[in-house]
Amino acid sequence: MSTELSLERQVPQLVCDLCHSRKVRCDRRDPCGNCQDAGISCNRRRAVKRKCLSSRPQGGYSRSSSRSSRRRATPDHQVDGSNSTNEVLPVVRSVPSRNLNDPRGPKTGVVYDPVYDAQMTIQYHLYRLPGLSLDRRSVLETALSVIKILSDNSRALVQDSLNNRQEEVYSRSPSIEFLTWMLKDIRSNRFGTFVMDYFRHISIPKLKQMGLSLLRNKIPTRESIIYTVCVNSVAYKFISTVINLEEDTDLALELRKNAKEYLASAQAALKQIPLLVVPSLALLQAIICGIFLHQGSGDVDLSVELTKAACNTCIDLNLQTKVLCGTASEEELFCFLWCYTMDRNYAFKSRTSRCLLDVQLPSTFNDLYPAYPPMAEHFLIYLDLARVQDTVVSYLPDNSLNHHNPSLMYGTGEYMLLQMQYIEQRMNNIALLSSEWKGLDSQPEMSALKFAYQSVMTGILYLLQSDSGQPTRSTESYLQSAREELSALVSMCHTAEKQTAVNFLNWTILLYPATAYLVLFCNVVATSDVGDFNLMKAIADCLTQTGLSYPLVQLRTLYQKFLGLSQEFFNDERNALQRIPSPRLGSPLSNPVGNPFALTWGEDDLVFNQFVFTGAESFSGMFSMPDVDPSLPYSFD
C-alpha cells in the first residue's frame, strides 16, 4: 500500500488545459499559477495521447500494416487485449480515456472552449478600458463571474437534450432506377457549373461501381460501410439540388423526405467505419462526404475530427505529391483540394494549431491539369480564401510559427488585404451569374461565402490592429467587419429555415463567431449601440435553433447571459441619448430583429468599397486602435 502511495506521489500533475492550449509553461500545481492569476478554474480534461502507448493491442494487426493504421490504432484509442481488431468501431469518436456517455463528443488534444476565450476577453477589457463608468465596468465584472459557473450547467443541458433525441435509423441504398438517373444527370447541363464541382471528388465510374456493389451485396462489410456513406451522401446532395429546380410542391415534399432518409442512413454508416481500416481513396472520399453531411449541424467536435481524419488519410496516400506533380486523377485532385481548404480553415479557427498538410499550393496549379474541365469560380474563391488563411495562420497568437516582426506583419497584411479586395470583386461578379447557380439557391450560397470572407477579414484586421508600432486611430473598419460577418450568419440561418442546401461551405467549423460577437458586446457596453445589440440578439436566436454539441451549448448560453447584461443599458431612460447608433458607412444593421439582414454587393457595399479598400496609400489608417479598444487578444472565433 505504501509503495502504491509513493508511486502515486511521484506522478506529476498534467499540464492544465489552458496552459496547454495557450502554449505557455505550467507549474503543474492544482490550481496552477497562471489560472490563479487569471481567476480561472484550472481544468485537466483533455486527452493525453501518450497514455495509450502501453495499451497497444498485442497481435491486433501485423507489422505490414500501413503507417496510417498504426498511427490511428496507437494514439487515438485504447483497445482491450481481449477484443479483436475486426470489431467495428467509430472512426471519429473513439479517443483515449473518453466516457462514452460524455455529451461533449471527442476531445481533440487541444481543448477549444469558448469559455476560456470569453474569460480572457473580459479581463483584457477590464484592464484596458479605464475610462468606463462604474456601472459599465460592473457589467464586465458580472460577465466574468457568470462565465465561471457556466461549464457544468451547459454540459447537463446537452446530456438531457441528447437523451430526448435518440432516433432509430434504417439502412437505405439507392435503387437501380435512382442510381441510373443520378449518374446521368450529375454531369449534365441540368445543373449549373457551381453544382458540378461539388460531385467531382468521386468520379462517375467510381460512384457507379459503389452503387452497383451495394445493390449486389457481395462486398465485405467494411467496404460496404464506406460505399454506403459515399453513395447515400451523393444521393442526398443530388436530391437537394433537384428540389431547388422542382416547381411541383407535392413532388418536392416527397423528394425532401427521401433526401432526409439518405442523409440519416449515410450519417449512421459514417459512425460505423472501422477504426483500423487501411487508408484508401474510398475512405478519404467517405470522410469528405461525412464532413458535407454534417455541415451546419452544430456538432463542432465531430467536424474537427473528420477534418483531421481526412487530412491524415490524404497524407498517407501522398496525394499532395501527386497533385503538385500533375499526376493526380480528377477525383484525387478534388479530394486533396477539399482537404487543403478545410485544413486551413480549421487551423485558422483553432488558432493554436498548425496546418496538417504541409504544402504550399501555387496559384498556377490548374495549369498542371489542362485536360480536366475547368473549376468553377465559386469553388476557386473558397480555395483562394484558404490560401489567405494559410498566410494568416503563421501570425496567430501562440502559434509555433508566430512571426514577431511587426513590420513583416504590416507588409504581409497589406498584401493580404489586396488579395481580399480581389476576392471581393470576384464575389460581386459571381453573384450576377444566374445561369451558373442552376440547382442552387444563390442567396444562401452567397451568404455562406460572405460569412467565410468576413471571418477572414475580421481576423486580418485584428492582427493589423494588434501592431503596436502603428498609429492609434479608428476601429470602425474592424467593428464593421465583425458586423458584416454576423449579419451573413444571420442570413444563413434565415434561409436554412426554408431547407435550402448550402453546398460548399462546411460552416460547422466556422460556427464560432465568438470574436465578432464579443467585439459587439464590448462595444455595446462602452457605447450602448442599438444596432450591435439587435445583431447580438439575432445571433443568439440563430444559435438557439442550431445543434446540440457541448461547445455550441456553452457558446449560446454565454451569448444569452451577455444579452441579459447588455439589456440594462437600453431599459434605463437616463441612457436615452447614448442609444443613438453611431453613423455607419453602408448597410444599416439596426433593422428590427426577426427580419433578414440584407447583404449588399457591388457598388452598394459602401463599407468595403469606400473605407477598407482605399488603396495602399491610406492602408495604415484602417486598422489602428483608439483608447477604447474593442479588439480581442486571443482568437478569431
Cell of 610: 469606400
pTM: 0.68
Q: What's the whole-number mean pLDDT along residues 274-288?
A: 90
- C-alpha distances in angstroms, 366 versus 194, 332, 352, 400? 17, 14, 31, 31
User: In b/e form, how buried is each residue of 300-316, taking b as 16+ CB within 10 angstroms?
Assistant: bbbbbbbbbbbbbbbbb
- pLDDT, tens digit, for every residue of 483-505? 888 888 788 777 655 555 444 44
Q: How many CB atoms lie within 10 A of CB 566?
A: 21
Chain position carrying cell 456538432 = 299
Please state, in angstroms and rounded to a whole number, the distance separating the CA atoms of residues 500 and 243: 9
Return the amino acid letter for 568: E
pLDDT score, position 459: 79
- pLDDT, tens digit, for every residue of 580-635? 344 333 333 333 333 233 333 333 333 333 333 333 333 333 333 223 232 222 23
- pLDDT, tens digit, for every residue of 208-245? 999 999 999 989 988 999 999 999 999 999 998 898 88
Where does the pLDDT of residue 540 fall: very low under 50, low under 70, confident under 90, or very high at 90 and above?
A: confident
- pLDDT, tens digit, for every residue of 426-458? 999 998 888 888 888 888 888 888 888 988 888
- pLDDT, tens digit, for every residue of 126-151? 665 666 777 777 777 776 666 655 54
Assign 355 to helix, strand or coil. coil
Comparing C-alpha atoms, which of 482, 491, 520, 489 is closest to residue 507? 489
Percentage of residues of the chain with pLDDT beyond 70: 57
Where does the pLDDT of residue 198 fall: very low under 50, low under 70, confident under 90, or very high at 90 and above?
A: confident
Q: What's the whole-number mean pLDDT along residues 297-316?
A: 84
Q: What's the whole-number mean pLDDT along residues 116-120?
A: 56
The residue with greater pLDDT, 174 or 142, is 174
For 414, which DSSP code? H
